[in-house]
Amino acid sequence: MDEELGRYPLTGRFLMGRLRDALSEDEKGIVESLIGEVVEYDHDATILSRGELSDRSTMLIDGFVLRTISEGDKRFVVGVQVPGDFVDLHAFALKRLDHDLVTLGPVRVGFVSHDRLRRLMEENAHLTRLLWFSTLLDAAIHREWIMKLEQLRASKRVAHVFCEIWQRLDFVGLGRKGIIDTPLIQQTLADMCGTTAIHMNRALGQLRRDGLADFRRGSIRVPDRQALERFATFDPAYLYGEGILGVKGELSLS
C-alpha cells in the first residue's frame, strides 16, 4: 500500500480495496495524470453548489466530503465521501448536480477537467468502465442509506453510518483498530440520519451506555466491532469489496 501511494500520491487510493488490481500500471499512471490542479481546504467550504455549471470533477485525496441538500433552514446529508473517491464523476454527464458538495474539516482534492475525461473515454474503454464502476458504487451506497433510513431507529442508523465509514476507511488503508477518526459533529450525524440534534444526542447516549460506541468530538471508540455491526445490522456487501457482490478478476484486462 505504501508503495502504491508512493508511486501514485494523488490517486493511489482510487478503487483500493475493490478493483485497484483491475487497473494496469499504465492505467494507474493515466488516472494519476488526470489531476490538473490540487487544492487544499482548511475549513468547511463548498466545492460545487447545486445547479452550478461544472467543467471538472473531483478526486478526494485526503479528508471527508459531504453531499448535502438544503430545504428551508434544514440541511440533509445524503452522502459522505472518503479518500480515494471520485466525488462527482457523474458531473461529467450531468454538468449540474442536484446537491452541494461540501468539505468537512481539512480536505485535499484534485480536480480533473472534463476535457481530459472526454479524451480518456474516447481512448480507453476498459478504464472508462472502471470509472463507471466507481460512480455506480455511489448509487449502491445511496440505496442502502434509503433502506436503512426507513428500516432502523436513530441509534441503529448512526451505528450503521459508523460501520460504513469504518469499512470504507479500511478499504483505503486508513482504518484503525478500535477507533474511527472523523471530523464529524453531532449535528452532522443528525443531518445524515434524518433526525434532530436532540434525538441524535439520545441515540449516541444509548450507544455509549450499551458499550457499543463512544462518540467524542468526531472520534468514535468501539470496544467490539462485531457487536456494533450486529446492532446496526451492517452487511458490507453493498460496498462491493467482499462477499456476494465483491468484484475481483471479472473486470481485469487479462
Mean pLDDT value of segment 159-180: 97
pLDDT in tens, 33-83: 999 999 999 988 999 999 999 999 999 999 999 999 999 889 999 999 999
pLDDT for 173 equals 96
Q: Considering only CA atoms, which of 52, 16, 65, 57 is closest in space to residue 37?
A: 57
pLDDT for 43 equals 86
Percentage of the residues of the chain whose pLDDT score is greater than 90: 89
Residue 156 binned pLDDT confidence (cut-offs 50, 70, 90):
very high
Mean pLDDT value of segment 97-107: 97
pLDDT for 246 equals 80
Return all residues near 95 (Cβ < 8 A) that are at least 6 apart: 53, 54
Residue 91 binned pLDDT confidence (cut-offs 50, 70, 90):
very high
Q: Is the per-residue pLDDT at 212 higher than 70? A: yes
Cα–Cα distance between 213 and 120 in angstroms, integer? Answer: 44
214-216 and 74-81 strand pairing? unpaired
Which helix H or strand E contains 219, and what residues bound it? strand 219-221
Residue 237 binned pLDDT confidence (cut-offs 50, 70, 90):
very high
Residue 251 binned pLDDT confidence (cut-offs 50, 70, 90):
confident
Residue 221: CB atoms within 10 Å? 12
Q: What is the mean pLDDT of the chain?
A: 94
Going by the DSSP 8-state scheme, the letter that residue 49 receives in this structure is -
Q: Considering only CA atoms, which of 147, 136, 139 is closest in space to residue 234?
A: 147
pLDDT in tens, 181-209: 999 999 999 999 999 999 999 999 999 99
Torsion of CA 192, 63, 98, 134, to 10 degrees: -100
pLDDT for 241 equals 87
pLDDT for 242 equals 81
pLDDT for 66 equals 98
Domain boundaries in the chain? 2-135, 153-232
Is domain 2-135 in CATH 2.60.120.10, yes or no?
A: yes
Is domain 153-232 in CATH 1.10.10.10, yes or no?
A: yes
Which helix H or strand E contains 140, and what residues bound it? helix 125-151
Q: Considering only CA atoms, which of 250, 105, 247 is closest in space to residue 184?
A: 105
Q: Is the per-residue pLDDT at 254 higher than 70? A: no
pLDDT for 200 equals 97
